[in-house]
Structure 1
């Protein structure tokens, strides 16, 4: 092993750029771990000085595409994404951020958000974020807010969920002509390593008797080919800019998913960056492996209710309660329809997620409901709920 710097170590591998980067972030770009807290062999990045981070940015700066893999629910992965985005942007070269977490039909909403014409809550409602992606928005919020502050374009990469849901049920052959026009025309099924990897995943997961590996495979292919095709379309339209792609590690590891399919369409320089935590060490997984210290989002306050998101009528109906439920203790009943939480009017499930996004356990939250009576219609009621 040849020591290149306090941060980077060369690993013998068939990938010439394969490096291991130890990013020990404690919180986003402010506080960091000290060397005394770690194994002597572990190198610590002092984010406050940005010295070692600059080394990574220097390595990535000339790539046309940088893929940064994520475990969707790990906050430290998203903090690392933001640190790299910030470092590349501050070099002064134009960049854009491609996101798996937004679907292609909602590109106009992302554009309006960056332009300042759409608020954050409007963006979440109009992109149907909580119905289509569901992961805690706070994981991505620092990235989106930075992009808005700096005027960095956000690119919706993913295919519409309606398409992939249909393919999961009936395969590509079940799509209508109109739906088929929305999927990539080029789909590569010849990568044996990719197929074997997906076969292992399929066999490990519980499934019904009617589960079809072919349908599962076609969904994965559509995700990877669809995001690659969208990325290449943007690259061709913006030849002087760099694209930073944020996607799940399964879509970028070993370059099998999106990267290989981008390269097939448009040979460009690229790097893959991803976390090496919680998986066997293999330098072939990516060009750069990150080993971040876990960082948890603050816990939000919960009402302790189960919701009927398909309920008809005003508000969102309470279907039941958790074992520990501040809502039940406050007097809510099954069948009550929540119409307001704090100062947020509730018309759909997304409104509840938005209303509670920055709440805390133990906080007192006013909640308005409609309760149907046997005689006389619905009665409006208000409660003070102690969030759990």
Structure 2
């Protein structure tokens, strides 16, 4: 798949500070001048030396001796995922034996990931088994090229994240409220002693609406579990294979300044590492990452949509239609609120994920048959099929 060739910032940026220079005298040597009070505040300016900008190939050459490489992302930014793919492909081409750790899959589904990478189950079954559309929900096509390349090359993909049932319960009752069986599934080592980490979590907590601000300590514990859980799982990969290079793909908030996953992984496995982040709209702070990437924005092509709002909680056949979006192709075709979608394009529908899977390769303007089950005032339910133009 074509991808941009981003430039990167290599090394630490040159820092120039707005202080008075020392005058040099050839005859007397350095002479210190007292500061002159002008009433104008001094500013500390950082200067980025553009002559140090290079490209992806140069970056990959510098990464070949790292055991773990953290590549951050904004989850819905396609160019970030293309950069992740470029790093994976580049290091694979350089002969590194790789494993890919992904935030987006949860540890209980590792066997299903293994089956997909081994080629023993098709993509649709892999998405169902890992419950991707229920547990992550970002457009799967953002990650698809990475997973397809891993499958083609038989590169192990590691489910890093803890089960969402655990973190959700900790959000409600804290770690102290877990059962013994649940405690056995979380890391035994949890470092709470980084004040900068706590300060960052508190600042995120305060951004939530007031009605969602329940318990700061429970919120902090959820963040700690995410980061410690992913770090522990990644550290086991490195411990089990001393020749493996692990590429960790995760949201930038889990990686920047090393506070989330990196320092917790390196506490367990002190190995050479590097953090790569998208540098757009970010101050060039050398403490945030080892390398900043500056890709051109790339839009994921639009997928086809039915234009329906679904109720996935109500029991019954298929999935209940509870409303429609603007200019809904389904509504124009004749679907109505209360209908239950039971088939899309020939694929049987049992839940929300089935609809997402049925539409994963669809495009706007495409027409698909949609079969529904509709209640009648008299008699049993009826089955109807409509041709829906996707928007």
Bucket of the pairwise TM-score, normalised by the shorter protein: 0.7 to 0.9
Instruction: Check the 8 A contact 2:202/2:216 in 1, yes or no.
Output: yes
CA RMSD in angstroms comes to: 1.9
Q: Secondary structure at the match of 2:96?
A: coil
Instruction: Check the 8 A contact 1:300/1:361 in 2, yes or no.
Output: yes
Instruction: Check the 8 A contact 2:9/2:292 in 1, yes or no.
Output: no
CA displacement 1:308-354 (0-9 Å, x = unmatched): 01121110010111132111111111111101110211111111101
CA displacement 1:151-208 (0-9 Å, x = unmatched): 1000000000000111111111111111111000000000011111111111122141
**Residue 335 of structure 2 corresponds to which residue in structure 1?**
332
Task: Pick one of 279, 283, 293 that aligns with 1:280.
Answer: 283
**Distance in 2 of aligned mates of 1:65 and 1:210:** 35
Task: Pick one of 90, 113, 124 that aligns with 2:116.
Answer: 113
Q: Relative to structure 1, is the Cα distance of residues 385 and 96 closer, same or farther in structure 2, using a 3 angstrom cutoff?
A: same
CA displacement 1:231-270 (0-9 Å, x = unmatched): 1111111111110000000000000100000111111111
Q: Does 1:359 align with 2:367?
A: no
**Distance in 1 of aligned mates of 2:51 and 2:105:** 36
**Distance in 1 of aligned mates of 2:244 and 2:218:** 36
Q: Secondary structure at the match of 2:299?
A: coil
Q: Secondary structure at the match of 1:282?
A: coil
Q: Relative to structure 1, is the Cα distance of residues 357 and 126 closer, same or farther in structure 2, using a 3 angstrom cutoff?
A: same
Task: Pick one of 371, 375, 381 that aligns with 2:374.
Answer: 371
Structure 1 residue 65 displacement after superposition: 0.4
1:41-190 to structure 2, matched below 5 A, reads 52-190=55-193
Q: Secondary structure at the match of 1:135?
A: coil
TM-score scaled by structure 1? Answer: 0.87
**Residue 252 of structure 2 corresponds to which residue in structure 1?**
249
Instruction: Check the 8 A contact 1:283/1:289 in 2, yes or no.
Output: no
**Distance in 2 of aligned mates of 1:176 and 1:138:** 37
**Residue 308 of structure 1 corresponds to which residue in structure 2?**
311
**Distance in 1 of aligned mates of 2:306 and 2:13:** 53
**Distance in 1 of aligned mates of 2:8 and 2:341:** 52
Q: Does 1:267 align with 2:270?
A: yes
Which aligned runs of 4 or more in structure 1 are off by greater than 3 angstroms?
6-10, 41-45
Q: Relative to structure 1, is the Cα distance of residues 62 and 322 closer, same or farther in structure 2, using a 3 angstrom cutoff?
A: same
TM-score scaled by structure 2? Answer: 0.87
Q: Secondary structure at the match of 2:270?
A: coil
Higher-Rg structure is 2
Structure 1 residue 376 displacement after superposition: 1.8
CA displacement 1:6-25 (0-9 Å, x = unmatched): 965543479xxxxxxxxxxx
Q: What residue ranges of structure 2 are gaps of 5+ in the alignment?
A: 1-6, 16-49
**Residue 12 of structure 2 corresponds to which residue in structure 1?**
11
**Residue 234 of structure 1 corresponds to which residue in structure 2?**
237
Q: Does 1:349 align with 2:342?
A: no
Q: Relative to structure 1, is the Cα distance of residues 124 and 7 closer, same or farther in structure 2, using a 3 angstrom cutoff?
A: closer
**Residue 381 of structure 1 corresponds to which residue in structure 2?**
384
The count of corresponding residues between Structure 1 and Structure 2 is 352
